[in-house]
């Protein structure tokens, strides 16, 4: 059974919106209290202390802007979301490898993992799921472009 193109287009749209909202929420919560996010970043020990606050604000702002861009299918936003997700996976993988007992910092200070700790593996798994969704969005775009080229 083949899924009609209209339904696939709606799935593509909803996946973009869901990912966009996740990134807007995650970045927005961190922008509200960038000092808290800066402390979390500093706990990983990979960003020089002098620029950790700047990195916290910049990453959060990029998340929000890329999320908005993805929701409205603006060119380049999916690539930024992909890059951010890979960056987060690398950092989480580093934290897991080093046995760090820190919060992932994914959703700001109200993140339930910030109270529980030991959430790096859960966050890593969550980011893998998001990465698979991002790859699906890329595949849809490629297929859609291919179909359009055939019909022209």
124: its two tokens: 């890593």
Would you list the domain boundaries of the chain? 5-143
| CA angle 129–131–133, rounded 5-degree value | 75
pTM for the full predicted model: 0.85
pLDDT in tens, 73-104: 999 999 999 999 999 999 999 999 988 888 77
Say which residue, 5 or 20, is predicted with more confidence.
20
d(CA 96, CA 51): 23
Closest by Cα among 142, 151, 140, 152 to 10: 140
Each residue's pLDDT tens digit, 22-62: 999 999 999 999 999 999 999 899 999 999 999 999 999 99
Mean pLDDT, the chain, integer:
87
């Amino acid at each position: 059974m083949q899924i009609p193109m209209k339904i696939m287009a709606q799935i593509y749209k909803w996946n973009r919106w869901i990912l966009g909202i996740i990134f807007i929420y995650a970045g927005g919560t961190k922008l509200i209290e960038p000092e808290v996010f800066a402390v979390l970043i500093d706990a990983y020990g990979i960003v020089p202390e002098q620029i950790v606050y700047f990195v916290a604000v910049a990453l959060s702002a990029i998340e929000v802007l890329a999320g908005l861009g993805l929701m409205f299918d603006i060119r380049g936003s999916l690539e930024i979301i992909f890059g951010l997700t890979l960056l987060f996976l690398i950092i989480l993988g580093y934290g897991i490898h080093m046995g760090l007992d820190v919060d992932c910092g994914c959703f700001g200070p109200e993140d339930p993992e910030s109270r529980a700790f030991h959430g790096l593996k859960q966050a890593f798994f969550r980011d893998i799921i998001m990465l698979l969704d991002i790859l699906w969005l890329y595949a849809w775009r490629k297929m859609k472009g291919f179909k359009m080229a055939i019909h022209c």
